[in-house]
Chains A and B, each alone.
Chain A
Amino acid sequence: MTAMALDERFFEKFGVEYSPNEIIFCEWEPGNEFYFIQSGNVRIVKLIQNREKNLSVLTDGDVFGEMAILEEQPRSATAIATDHVKLLKFHRDNFDTLMSGNPALAYKLLVIFSKRIYDAKRRLMILLLEEPQLKVMDVLVMLAEQDPHLDLQNEIALQVTAKDVARWAGLSESDAQKELTHLSRTDKIELFGDKIVVKKIREFQRLVASRRKSMYQ
């Protein structure tokens, strides 16, 4: 988003800077601001099962903390500056004014919200399935769909652990593990420490789709 008309004055007003390794906000703290990265990199991490897990690394032009615009919920992850970072920081209360003056930023958020809406809906669709087996399958389908580089006609490898699957599926880890083991025994998938190989993801896709259809009838 280099074309963004964010002049110097804008930075004067909303600019904040962080040093390497400084926390910008921390998971579970209340969040009222969202951020736009002017320069530098920001690591988004989350404690999962008492281990710090990298969710993503964001860079120039990216926006984060945007859920604060919508609701006063605690932060769902921690943002840490990985190098010298320059940010624009906007309070929720200024949102309307800000958007009027900066259609480019508004457009950027529009794109982000579009993605988030879909992702959230997609996750919800998994959670609304009834059988744990299907939930697990659908998690794998969702992850496969999210990676445009995968060839879904062939065997695919997903960088995901049983814990991740459990979290997406809204299952306990042992329940998710049970389902994964079952799929592995029936030779539908292969389990590794840090990845899961799915033999025929299309088959899962079809199965989940037909069950979802019949669920409503």
Chain B
Amino acid sequence: MHRPPFFIPTLCLCALLSLLIGCAKKTTNVEYGNANQELFIGIGAEPATLDPHLLTGLTEYSVVMAFLEGLTTLDAESMRVRPGVAQSWEISEDGLTYTFHFNPKAKWSNGDPVTPEDFLFSFERILTPLLGAPYAYMLYPMRGAEAFHTGELTDFSKVGATAIDEYTLQIVLEQPTPYFLSLLAHNTWFPVHPPTILQHGGMTERISKWTKAGNYIGNGPFVLEDWRLNNRVYAVKSQHYHDTDSVKLNGIHFLPIDIETEERAFRTGHLHITESVPIHRIEWYRENSPETIHFATSLGVYYYMLNTEREPLNDPRVRKALAYSINREELTKHVLKAGQQPAYHFTPPNAGGYNAEARFPYDPDLARELLAEAGFPAGKDFPAFELLYNTSESHRTIAVAIQQMWKQELGIDIELHNQEWKAYLSTREAGEFDILRAAWFGDYDDPNTFLSLGETNNGNNHTNWSNAEYDALIKQAAVTLDPEARKAIFQKAETLLIDEMPVIPIYFYVTSRLIDDSVQGWYPSILDNHPYQAIELIGNE
């Protein structure tokens, strides 16, 4: 009897595998993209939502700005305010009333005109408490917005937004807000298409299906063609966008790829732009391919938060000693390596044109003196305390380096402790920490988004630090119209902050990306804001 050879299944499999070899795609994504003006861009993680009023992350924002446009937009290169849905505007002399004139060509992706009424609907939607929009406070500069959002005011017509006619929208502010026009380019101020929202569960339905491909109606340069989880969000050029001629790209593939995979994808020509660069690859690109690696300072600060209620951190001298004894140059050069800037004050450079003048030193001698004054000469009898960070390799590396510096310079032993993200958040909220790793990214391009963190009742101030003078300065800045006078107030606040040192700034963030040389019109941006209208792909045939 003839029997099949013993290893037949294995042989079949080998044959099958060898058949598949070489069936790999012959053209890469980049080649295909350059020939068809389709951009392949890594976004790091799956966007949680494409609803402009519910999203909270930069990932989501970077996708949604392809689909929606606010009253104003930001210039890709200079980040100056440019017309969006509004083609022009007037500001009253007291700085309180803004009158916006709509571009008559502004259309939704189904051809409907974009009207002032649509904006009113959108403002009402995000401010209605029932929707639970996390960032609704971004609309608070508008008169009555806060009252409506907190339920004190229930009649939306009392809120300071009015449709004057079918092309004119007027917004009245609580108080002059110098950065108001750039705020309008933020996703919380984006319009949504009322009939679509109403058709999918109503104005305040969170769990709405309107964000799905096929349902999504936007007014931006692109429309949502396809959205598959952990796979891609695919945007194609809108035919109804008011400035459609200026849009060069025919499509954008947003790919939620993990950082290591992303780098491999870039290396093999499957991505035009990565979301980030793994630390261990930065050196290699710097040396071998400097034209593809791009760094941009971003509006973010990495810092340690001190619990100023606990001994000995309740003593400003101890807090300063800890801050002054960290060698930030060493940390950024040899540990972080991506060109991060050492932070000797809290507000990142050039936030809304503001550069902090206050500086604290790197001075281990002074630090030792301060510590001795506080009663701990050479770290003697210094109580044990803990540094808490959310579990991550890079936070651990930094914490270990700083632990070492404090040990060497001050003779202080600290314990490192890590918790996974949600547990870390809940510990922070409960204030059950000594020192805690934290970071803050600006919501808008202005020092206020950083310095208001030090206010006593700011929801993000977990340091228990409270200073009446500081609170008064921040309040004063909010009502100061003259930009220079306002900056001067922020300078005072910053000086006070680093003199009290409830937080220890460590470094200012940079973003690092790999960008294929076919990509034109991508500029470094402090808010990591890159309008897709400006991008064009120039392939080398």
The answer to whether A and B interact is: no
Mark B residues whose CB is within 8 Å of A: none
Mark A residues whose CB is within 8 Å of B: none
